[in-house]
């Protein structure tokens, strides 16, 4: 992936396509029982992480929850390493020891992949604390879902971040459901974004289905933080097309709701914007989509052919030397 | 040991360890409730704010989960946090960070992120603090792969183990003891670098009739009892584990091979306690060396009562230990 300043919108559209095609393949491979455990798909939410990535530097830090395949791909982890991780293979981005919910990639500043809801939000404070401690101007993007905002760890972390003026952007990917429980059934506030006010953290709402809106708001926030270090909170209103995980038929929501969001698809939307502006032809789009599909398919082949982690190495990753 | 040994308190020893490691490595910082401006709830961090400044000695709100997690995150990118829990009874509020995030990260990331963090603070029953403030947590934390756990009993061990913990590339819990903070002991001069490896037990008193295995608060208890039993011509060897995990099995087996009788006296509770594991390993590995069933003295299996007389009855004490020693010696 090119550095941030060169990330043009066509490249970002390709990234969204890659995320979607990758996850469609993952879904298929899960059904074929090549992938075990839990598998949470991001399909529908692509504009959020892609918009965010388009606004930050490669050396900024990123940490997220368990719906993390897209975040790793957006950071630059290869589709091969991601699919191999889902297959539990030695070539995976966590050597097959993490699985779907625990993607890590140190070289690309991807700090997980964390599966206890809300528990990684304090870790984001630590990443940002380290930057401040070392007088670096990096910042940390911390993603989490609407389900995390009622966890104690989330509240403790926001207070610490505001208190210590840590350079973090907290990004709540509000997809309306914490597993099967809707926001109105879980949260006393009407607007999630108002949570930030209680910690004196500046906050904004963005349309999480709109790449440009996400990117521009985050870019503006990034500039503000780099100028005068502080924390910020962004609620990205988005939607996942699939269930909470592969085993969830999502019977708690209506077909009409799903259709409404599908019509507002982030990929279709950016494609239309670019086409209208003469920056993208249908041929170019088809070529991008073909490349995304091929990359996803190749990752399955790579994962299938990759070796399992060695049994003899079982004890090698419990304690660091 | 050198001839210029000096006497300091357990509290001073910990303070020296902190100061020396902060001085040595700019990546080390101390964070916790009241560690800076208040100089530590138990004065372990006395003077450190003045010496190292607020960037490295950091007061937190009462948010154990939050600041323990902050430490883990900072450790992911190479800082070496020392996180103080005012007592390990409060570490339960941060349990998820201590048992899930800190020790799992290295495995879950396929070896990409090790977590060089030290969690420290007083552990175990103190005096009449009641059920919520009296937890001995060693058996809980030693159960978690990825964590290392030590529980020093003397000023020398406290300093040497804490310094080693800070330098370790993994999460290490240094379980101190409120009742020992003011106790005194001999230690090398300050200019001598004192590092005591994790996983190394120490014979605190040699003996030939019975091995009493102990750690932390039960070490002074075992030494007192050993002294007392000498008058009754029972020679007690006192083996201080110092580290719970890794466990120095070699030291245990070599002492047991000498005395053939064992009492384990631990400050935690009986069910799944440290003694249960030690006992299992002894019988599994050197069963033939035993001349008597192993005895254990621990807390009673009840939440800690506030009442002083009842608290005394719950804790391991001299009467119980003497009775156990005599039982295994058939005396």
Q: Give the tens place of pLDDT for each residue, B33-84.
A: 999 999 999 999 999 999 999 999 999 999 999 999 999 999 999 999 999 9
Closest residue of chain A to B94, computed from CA coordinates: A153
Whole-number pLDDT of residue B228: 97
Instruction: Give A-chain residues touching B119 at CB under 8 angstroms.
Output: none
Whole-number pLDDT of residue B2: 61
What's chain B's length in residues? 331
**E strands, chain A, in order:** 61-64, 110-113, 140-145, 168-174, 177-178, 181-182, 203-207, 232-237
Average pLDDT over residues A217-246: 95
Closest residue of chain A to B95, computed from CA coordinates: A119
Instruction: Give B-chain residues touching A127 at CB under 8 angstroms.
Output: 73-74, 76-77
Chain A: nearest CA to B158, how far in angstroms? 23
Question: Of all helices (H) and strands (E), which one includes residue A296?
Answer: helix A282-305
A69: CB partners within 8 A, 6+ apart: A19, A22, A23, A26, A41, A42, A82, A86, A100, A103
Instruction: Give B-chain residues touching A61 at CB under 8 angstroms.
Output: 77
User: Does B166 reach chain A within 8 Å, measured CB to CB?
Assistant: no
pLDDT in tens, B238-270: 999 999 999 999 999 999 999 999 999 999 999
**Using CB atoms, which residue from A97, A121, A127 is nearest to B107?**
A97
Instruction: Give A-chain residues touching B101 at CB under 8 angstroms.
Output: 114, 116, 119-120, 123
Chain B: nearest CA to A1, how far in angstroms? 22
**SS3 call for B170:** coil
User: Does B167 reach chain A within 8 Å, measured CB to CB?
Assistant: no
Verify whether the Cβ–Cβ distance B65 to A97 is below 8 Å.
Answer: no
Verify whether the Cβ–Cβ distance B100 to A92 is below 8 Å.
Answer: no
- Statement: residue A2 has pLDDT above 70: no
Closest residue of chain A to B62, computed from CA coordinates: A156
**Using CB atoms, which residue from A105, A111, A153 is nearest to B76?**
A111
Instruction: Give A-chain residues touching B116 at CB under 8 angstroms.
Output: 320
- Statement: residue A200 has pLDDT above 90: yes
Whole-number pLDDT of residue B202: 98
Residues of B that are catalytic: 64, 133
Whole-number pLDDT of residue A4: 57
Verify whether the Cβ–Cβ distance A116 to B100 is below 8 Å.
Answer: yes
Whole-number pLDDT of residue A63: 98
User: Does B92 reach chain A within 8 Å, measured CB to CB?
Assistant: no
Whole-number pLDDT of residue B103: 98
Verify whether the Cβ–Cβ distance A129 to B170 is below 8 Å.
Answer: no
- Determine contact, residues B164/B195, Cβ cutoff 8 Å: yes
- Statement: residue B148 has pLDDT above 90: yes
Verify whether the Cβ–Cβ distance B111 to A320 is below 8 Å.
Answer: yes
A159 φ/ψ sector (left φ>0, alpha ψ -120 to 50, else beta): alpha
Taking the whole predicted model, whether its pTM rises above 0.90 is answered as yes
Phi, psi of A294 (to 5 degrees): -65, -40
pLDDT in tens, A213-226: 999 999 999 999 99
Whether a cis peptide bond, with omega within 30° of 0, leads into A113 is: yes
User: Does B77 reach chain A within 8 Å, measured CB to CB?
Assistant: yes
Verify whether the Cβ–Cβ distance B110 to A124 is below 8 Å.
Answer: no
Verify whether the Cβ–Cβ distance B110 to A157 is below 8 Å.
Answer: no
Verify whether the Cβ–Cβ distance A114 to B170 is below 8 Å.
Answer: no
- Determine contact, residues A120/A63, Cβ cutoff 8 Å: yes
Distance CA A142, CA A11 (A): 23
pLDDT in tens, A173-194: 999 999 999 999 999 999 999 9
Average pLDDT over residues B192-202: 97
- Statement: residue B273 has pLDDT above 90: yes
Closest residue of chain B to A318, computed from CA coordinates: B146
pLDDT in tens, A45-73: 999 999 999 999 999 999 999 999 999 99
- Band (pLDDT 50/70/90 cuts) for residue A246 is confident
Question: Where do the H-state alpha helices sit in A35-151?
Answer: 46-53, 69-75, 79-86, 121-133
To test the contact with chain B by mutation, choose from A85, A156, A313 the residue with the greatest count of B C-beta atoms within 10 A, namely A156
Chain B: nearest CA to A230, how far in angstroms? 16
Question: What would the DSSP string read from start to end of A228-285?
Answer: S---EEEEEE---SS-SSTT---TTS-HHHHHHHHTT-HHHHHHHHHHHTTS--HHHH
Please name every residue paired with A245 in a beta bridge, in sequence order, or none if there are none: none
Phi, psi of A15 (to 5 degrees): -65, -40
Give percent above pLDDT 90 in chain A.
Answer: 92
Whole-number pLDDT of residue B72: 98
- Statement: residue B153 has pLDDT above 70: yes
Q: Say what the ipTM of the complex is.
A: 0.96
- Statement: residue A5 has pLDDT above 70: no
Whole-number pLDDT of residue A6: 56
């Amino acid at each position: 992936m090119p550095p941030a300043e060169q990330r043009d919108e066509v490249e970002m559209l390709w990234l969204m396509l890659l995320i979607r095609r990758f996850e469609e393949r993952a879904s298929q491979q899960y059904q074929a029982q090549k992938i075990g455990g839990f598998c949470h798909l991001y399909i529908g939410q692509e504009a959020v992480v892609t918009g965010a990535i388009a606004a930050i530097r490669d050396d900024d830090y990123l940490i997220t929850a368990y719906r993390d395949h897209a975040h790793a791909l957006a950071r630059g982890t290869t589709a091969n390493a991601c699919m191999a991780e889902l297959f539990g293979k030695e070539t995976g981005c966590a050597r097959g020891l993490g699985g779907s919910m625990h993607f890590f990639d140190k070289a690309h500043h991807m700090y997980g992949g964390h599966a206890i809801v809300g528990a990684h939000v304090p870790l984001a404070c630590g990443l940002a604390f380290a930057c401040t401690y070392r007088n670096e101007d990096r910042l940390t993007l911390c993603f989490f879902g609407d389900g995390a905002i009622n966890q104690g760890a989330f509240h403790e972390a926001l207070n610490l971040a505001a208190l210590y003026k840590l350079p973090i952007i907290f990004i709540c990917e509000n997809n309306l459901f914490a597993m099967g429980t809707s926001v109105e059934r879980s949260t006393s506030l009407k607007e999630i974004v108002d949570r930030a006010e209680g910690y004196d953290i500046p906050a904004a709402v963005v349309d999480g289905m709109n790449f440009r809106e996400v990117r521009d708001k985050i870019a503006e926030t990034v500039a503000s933080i780099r100028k005068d270090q502080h924390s910020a909170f962004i609620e990205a209103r988005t939607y996942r097309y699939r269930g909470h995980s592969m085993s969830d038929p999502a019977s708690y929501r209506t077909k009409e709701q799903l259709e409404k969001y599908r019509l507002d698809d982030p990929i279709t939307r950016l494609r239309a914007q670019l086409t209208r502006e003469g920056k993208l032809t249908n041929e170019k789009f088809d070529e991008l989509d073909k490349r995304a599909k091929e990359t996803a398919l190749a990752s399955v082949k790579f994962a299938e052919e990759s070796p399992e982690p060695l049994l003899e190495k079982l004890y090698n990753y419990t304690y660091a030397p | 040991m050198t001839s210029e040994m000096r006497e300091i308190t357990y509290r001073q020893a910990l303070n020296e360890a902190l100061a020396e490691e902060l001085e040595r490595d700019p990546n080390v910082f101390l964070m916790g409730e009241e560690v800076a401006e208040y100089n530590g709830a138990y004065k372990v961090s006395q003077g450190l704010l003045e010496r190292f400044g607020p960037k490295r000695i950091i007061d937190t709100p009462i948010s154990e989960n939050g600041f323990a997690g902050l430490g883990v995150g900072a450790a992911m990118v190479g800082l070496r946090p020392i996180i103080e829990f005012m007592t390990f009874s409060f570490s339960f509020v941060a349990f998820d960070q201590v048992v899930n995030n800190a020790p799992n990260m290295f495995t879950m990331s396929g070896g990409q992120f090790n977590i060089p963090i030290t969690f420290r603070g007083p552990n175990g029953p103190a005096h009449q603090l009641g059920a919520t403030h009296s937890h001995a947590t060693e058996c809980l934390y030693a159960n978690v792969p990825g964590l290392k756990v030590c529980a020093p009993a003397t000023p020398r061990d406290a300093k040497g183990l804490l310094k080693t913990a800070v330098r370790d590339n993994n999460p290490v819990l240094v379980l101190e003891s409120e009742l020992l903070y003011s106790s005194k002991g001999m230690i090398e001069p300050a200019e001598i670098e004192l590092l005591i490896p994790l996983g190394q037990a120490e014979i605190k008193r040699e003996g030939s009739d019975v091995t009493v295995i102990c750690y932390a608060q039960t070490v002074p208890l075992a030494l007192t009892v050993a002294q007392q039993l000498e008058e009754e011509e029972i020679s007690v060897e006192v083996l201080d584990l110092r580290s719970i995990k890794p466990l120095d099995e070699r030291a245990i087996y070599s002492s047991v091979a000498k005395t053939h009788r064992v009492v384990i006296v631990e400050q935690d509770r009986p069910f799944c306690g440290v003694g249960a594991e030690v006992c299992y390993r002894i019988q599994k590995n050197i069963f033939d060396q035993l001349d008597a069933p192993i005895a254990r003295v621990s807390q009673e299996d009840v939440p800690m009562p506030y009442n002083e007389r009842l608290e005394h009855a719950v804790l391991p004490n001299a009467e119980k230990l003497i009775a156990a020693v005599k039982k295994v010696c058939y005396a």
